[in-house]
Amino acid sequence: MQVGNEVLGAAKHIIDKQNIPCSYVLVIGSRPAPEIIKQCRKEKCDTIIIGTRGFGAIEGLFKNSVSHIVIENASVPVIVIK
pLDDT in tens, 47-59: 998 887 766 656 5
- pTM recorded for the entire structure: 0.74
pLDDT in tens, 12-51: 889 899 998 887 777 777 888 999 999 999 999 999 988 8
Q: What domains lie within the chain, and their CATH numbers?
A: 2-81 (3.40.50.620)
pLDDT band per the 50, 70, 90 thresholds, residue 7: confident
Answer for the pair 52, 80: CB distance below 8 angstroms, yes or no. Answer: yes
How many Cα atoms occupy the beta-carbon half-sphere of 41 within 13 Å?
Answer: 9
Burial environment of residue 54 by CB neighbours within 10 A (0 to 12, 13 to 18, 19 or more): exposed
pLDDT of residue 78: 95
pLDDT of residue 51: 82
Q: What angle do CA 29, 35, 38 make, to 5 degrees?
A: 160
